[in-house]
Structure 1
């Protein structure tokens, strides 16, 4: 079965799916769409993904979008019953809620920080607004730091699917140029990020991609 990921590799949401596929050792082809590549407004793409966003996973005549949903699908089809995606309902629900929290709690302020510091030209940056956004993102990261004070990964001792969405954004959190602004130190969060950085799939699909 041919597996295709539609999306540019610099998208954080595309990175999640690529990293997940890498952890599972699954072969795939990636096609650049979105951002400077465009093509997400075509009839062909909208037939697969009516949102016009990336990524889209295509397996034969089956397509799926929304990055965290794609991760769950991959976990269910290729890792169900493993530490990555356990079958015990409460263990899985714990992973699920942290995946959703990445989107609902971290997503907005991290997007503001990224766009303000990376995508906005220097002469147009609003550093006061960026300082506010960094503070809001830090509030979300402190939740994760508290979990990581108790165990090595977000949901417990083992690496699970919920480490992937947060880990992609941790790479930006630690890797961006803050242009003189500061972010609070969180030792447990940093130690977790350093552990993630040793994972081959993270190195290939996240760390090797420029933050642009």
Structure 2
């Protein structure tokens, strides 16, 4: 059985668990990270030198990086609806996955700890304002994409792009600051809420 190492409060672990359930993959999840089993041990660093979660174990195969894990899981399950085989359709899904990991997530690196976690170490008002501006800019990019693509981020069907961005948009929605009006995103988010795995691992009160 596939093992997923990482605490369920982690946004990146929840992304992987949601993918498992969409792909119909049976898994065993074990809590690692702050407050649980340590990621700072030699044994864990041998699996992931970054000492971060999630980590996937599939027999003797070990994989880290959440988006890579999501890709692996869908291919293992033969779910080419979630990640197409055709090169251009696959690239379209992976483009939005990569954008989520690089541009979208980097936009909240300062503002989320400040406003979402109330971390006193993140108290620079100029950096908070800059982070809000960048985060909202990314949201407008996604809003424009959904206006073009229709129901789902990469086109007509639900894919991994919707999973990874669904978690990120949930974090944006739950962090308190002024936000633009995004009707296409709101409609898309309502469609995500019709999927039981999203309610378990995405829109479940956690950020």
- The normalised TM-score by structure 1 is 0.90
TM superposition shift of 1:34? 1.3
Instruction: Provide the residue aligned with 1:77 in structure 2.
Output: 76
User: What is the root-mean-square deviation of aligned Cα atoms in Å?
Assistant: 1.7
2:86 is equivalent to residue 88 of structure 1: yes
TM superposition shift of 1:198? 1.4
Question: Which residue, out of 127, 135, 141, partners 1:129?
Answer: 127
TM superposition shift of 1:124? 6.6
User: Do the aligned partners of residues 131 and 194 (structure 1) sit closer, same or farther apart at CA in structure 2, a change above 3 Å counting?
Assistant: farther
Output the CA distance in 2 between the equivalents of 1:91 and 1:129.
37
Output the CA distance in 2 between the equivalents of 1:121 and 1:92.
38
Instruction: Give the count of matched residue pairs.
Output: 206
User: Do the aligned partners of residues 182 and 9 (structure 1) sit closer, same or farther apart at CA in structure 2, a change above 3 Å counting?
Assistant: same
Output the CA distance in 2 between the equivalents of 1:124 and 1:159.
36
Instruction: Provide the residue aligned with 2:30 in structure 1.
Output: 31
Instruction: Provide the residue aligned with 1:144 in structure 2.
Output: 142
Instruction: Provide the residue aligned with 2:195 in structure 1.
Output: 199
Deviations, residues 59-89 of structure 1 (Å, cap 9, x unaligned)? 12211000000011111111343x2111111
Instruction: Provide the residue aligned with 2:40 in structure 1.
Output: 41
Deviations, residues 125-168 of structure 1 (Å, cap 9, x unaligned)? 44443232111011111111111112111100111011111110
Output the CA distance in 2 between the equivalents of 1:160 and 1:68.
13
Secondary structure of residue in 1 paired with 2:57? strand
Secondary structure of residue in 2 paired with 1:37? coil
User: Do the aligned partners of residues 123 and 42 (structure 1) sit closer, same or farther apart at CA in structure 2, a change above 3 Å counting?
Assistant: closer
Instruction: Provide the residue aligned with 1:98 in structure 2.
Output: 96
Deviations, residues 17-55 of structure 1 (Å, cap 9, x unaligned)? 011011112111111111232511111111111111110
Output the CA distance in 1 between the equivalents of 2:171 and 2:122.
21
User: Do the aligned partners of residues 124 and 132 (structure 1) sit closer, same or farther apart at CA in structure 2, a change above 3 Å counting?
Assistant: closer
Output the CA distance in 2 between the equivalents of 1:80 and 1:28.
16
Instruction: Provide the residue aligned with 1:210 in structure 2.
Output: 206
Instruction: Provide the residue aligned with 1:155 in structure 2.
Output: 154
Structure 2: gaps (5+ residues):
none
Instruction: Provide the residue aligned with 2:172 in structure 1.
Output: 173
List structure 1 segments (4+ residues) > 6 angstroms apart after TM superposition. none
Question: Which residue, out of 108, 112, 115, partners 1:114?
Answer: 112
The answer (yes or no) to whether the contact 2:24–2:77 under 8 Å persists in 1 is: no
